[in-house]
Structure formats: C-alpha cells, structure tokens
A and B are shown apart, each in its own frame.
Chain A
Amino acid sequence: MLLAFLAASLSILVSLFVQARVEGAEGKRLTQAVALAQNAAEEFAADPAGAQGMEVESDGLVATVQVSAETHEAGALLNATVTVVDERGSASFSAGEEAYRLSTACYVPGYAADAAGGAAPDAGAAGSADDAEAPAAGGAASGDGSGVE
C-alpha cells in the first residue's frame, strides 16, 4: 500500500515538475525571441534600405526582416516585419515554428521605391541628410524605452 501511494504521488509530482519545466522553457524562449526581434528591428531602424532579407541568429533562433516600401510624395515609408523562427526546436516550439513576430516602420524622406518594391536612396532629395538620421534616432529611443521595462 505504501508502495502504491509512493508510485502515485511520484507520478503526479513528476508530471508537475515536467509541466513547470516546459512552461519555464516556453517563457525563456519567448523572452529570447522578443529580444532578438527587437535587435533586428533596431538594425532595420539604423539602416532601413539595407535590412531587406537580413537574418539575425542567436541560440537556435533566427530573425528574418522583410521590408516593403510604401511610396509617398517625398519619400517612402518602409514597413518591416521581423519574424523569429525557432530552427532548433525546443520543448515549447517545434523546429521551424514561428516564435514571435514584430512589425515596425521607418519613413525615409527622399527615398524612391522602385517597381519591385525595393528602395533606393535618392541622395539629392532636400533634407534627406538630416532626416535620414531621425528614424534611426527614433528607433534607438524606442529601444531605450523598452529597456525601462
């Protein structure tokens, strides 16, 4: 009877510990995915035109940046989607599963988006030298803000 009680108790406790481990790993993996997505988003903010297709990898997670350009009168609004995929797989995510997705944008005055959706800088545009720094500064500011949390 004691053995039966021990076996039942231990099976319940083991399942409790396993559940806690899976949940903890899931939280840790999500935190890593968010940090990686934010890093990629800040890299996009620093260089919006050169971020298309950029990949950032860390600890089995891969963040990919997809950029689409929205043409405006005097520039282009570059919309970026950062997708973080768990390449290795873990207790919470299977291999290749999307772990986190983040969208951001950056307006660059003086950019001319071509027909293919890419973007090419127009260095002759008025104010582009000053304004090109502004989105990067904004991106950095948002990064600082998130660090406050």
Chain B
Amino acid sequence: MRRPSTVRMGPISVFALVIILCLAVLGVLSATSASAGSAMAQRQADYAADGYRNEIAGQRFYALADDVLAPVRARGGDAQAAADALAAALDGIERAALDDAGEGALADRADGADGSDAARASDGGLSLDATVDGTEIAVHIEAQSGRCLDVAFAVQPDVTLSVTSWKATTLWAEDATDRLWTGPSAGAETGAAAGAEAAAAG
C-alpha cells in the first residue's frame, strides 16, 4: 500500500517562507508609504493652487477698487469721498473679484456694528469679506482648504490706493485624534506641587 504524500518542510522551505514573509511586509510598507507620499504631494499641490487663487482674488479686488477711485481722482475728490465711493461699490467689487474663481458668486451686505460697511461674497470655493473703515479697507479671502489672504489697503490723500499689508496664512486645526492621554494630569500636578514644597522646605 502506498503512503499518502506529505509536504515535508525542510530548512530551505522554512527559510524561503521567512524571506517571502519579510518581503511581503516590506512591500506593503513601501506601497503604503508611497501612497501617503503621493497623497501628500497632491494635497500640497492643491494648497498651492488655493493660495494663488486667493492671490488672484486679492489682486482683482485691488484692480477693481482702483477702478472705483479713478473717477474720484479725475473729479479732484478727497480721500474720504474715495472711501465713500468704495463703500458704495463694495458688493460689485467683491462679486467681480471672485468671478475668476468660479461662477455664481453670492454677496450680501450689512452695516457693521461699528458703523463700517461690510460685505461678504462666496463662490463655493472662496469667500471674500471686505470692510471699509474710514479710509482703510480690510479684505479677508478664505479658501475651503483653510488658505487665507488678509489684505489691508489705505486710500491716500492723493486718492490712490496703497497696500499696507498683504498676508497669506493657513488655518490650522490641531488633530487630537492621536492623543494617547486626554485626562487631567493629576500626577504631574501632584509631582510639581511636591517639588515646589521640597524647594520651599530646602
């Protein structure tokens, strides 16, 4: 009678299996790392594009605001007249400033609590807040990704518009999902108190 065949695991087979397992682990780690790197690169590319979309909206706002000042300048008006003209045209400027970023820009207007004129426009991807306070104009542009652009303009006595501040920032929300210990640090406080008492006693 013939004996049933069995797979015999010799040292070479075991060695080969261990090598295959190690290679599999390394391969999975490599693929995961490459995928994460690629996703991060794509995210960085999107962030850069959003930053420059903000830049376009800011520059467009600057151009359109300067357009509003041109007739005032031609009439020989003063800085306050120019600021008033800007406040009156704020909604239209905001809509037009966001035109490049997308269709269907919406704007609503409200008088600020401090008497300043404020308006807000958004197009789904970008939002733009502009405030005219005296001869100062503050513009806040924010992309959905958290990229922000804060611009401050000032109407000069010769009715020209100057940029006093141009700041690109990024909103950051702390990711607390990987926090290992969220409870009160009672032990640390006790230790610190004991240390302080020991120092006082010393």
A residues lining the B interface (CB < 8 Å): 1-2, 6, 9-10, 13, 16-17, 19-21, 23-24, 26-28, 30-31, 33-34, 37-38, 41, 70, 72-75, 77, 79, 100, 102-107, 109, 126-127, 130-131, 134-135, 137-139, 141-146, 148-149
Q: Can you sample 10 A-B contacts with CB below 8 Å?
A: A20-B27, A26-B41, A27-B41, A72-B64, A104-B52, A135-B59, A138-B151, A141-B167, A145-B51, A145-B147
The verdict on B78 contacting chain A, using a C-beta distance below 8 Å, is no
Query: Known: A34-B44, A145-B168. Contact between A137 and B67, CB under 8 A?
Result: no
**A16-B31, A28-B41, A103-B52 are known contacts; what are 20 more A-B pairs with Cβ within 8 Å?**
A10-B20, A13-B23, A16-B30, A24-B37, A26-B41, A27-B42, A30-B38, A31-B44, A34-B44, A73-B67, A77-B60, A102-B49, A109-B66, A109-B161, A126-B158, A127-B162, A131-B163, A138-B151, A138-B163, A141-B168
3 smallest A-B Cβ distances: which pairs?
Answer: A145-B168, A127-B160, A134-B163
Tell me which residues across on chain A come within 8 A of B28, comparing CB atoms.
16
For chain B residues 99-147, which have a beta carbon within 8 Å of chain A?
A: 100, 147
Contact with A along B68-108 (1 / 0, CB 8 A): 01110100000000000000000000000000100000000
The verdict on B34 contacting chain A, using a C-beta distance below 8 Å, is yes
B63 touches A6 (CB 8 A): no
In the assembled complex, the CB of B76 is this many whole angstroms from the nearest CB of chain A, namely 13
B63 touches A107 (CB 8 A): yes
B160 touches A109 (CB 8 A): yes
Nearest CB to that of B49 among chain A residues? A102
Contact with A along B53-67 (1 / 0, CB 8 A): 111101110111011
Q: Count how many pairs of residues, one from A and one from B, have CB atoms less than 8 Å apart in the complex.
A: 166
Tell me which residues across on chain B come within 8 A of A139, comparing CB atoms.
55
Q: Which of A9, A13, A126, A142 contacts B160 (CB 8 A)?
A: A126
In the assembled complex, the CB of B19 is this many whole angstroms from the nearest CB of chain A, namely 9
A137 touches B31 (CB 8 A): no
Q: In the assembly, what is the distance between CA of A103 and CA of B101, in Å?
A: 11
Chain B interface, >50% SS class: helix
A73 touches B167 (CB 8 A): no
Tell me which residues across on chain B come within 8 A of A149, comparing CB atoms.
44, 47, 170
Query: Known: A134-B163, A142-B51. Contact between A107 and B60, CB under 8 A?
Result: yes
Tell me which residues across on chain B come within 8 A of A70, comparing CB atoms.
63
Nearest CB to that of B153 among chain A residues? A134
A20 touches B34 (CB 8 A): yes
Tell me which residues across on chain B come within 8 A of A26, comparing CB atoms.
38, 41
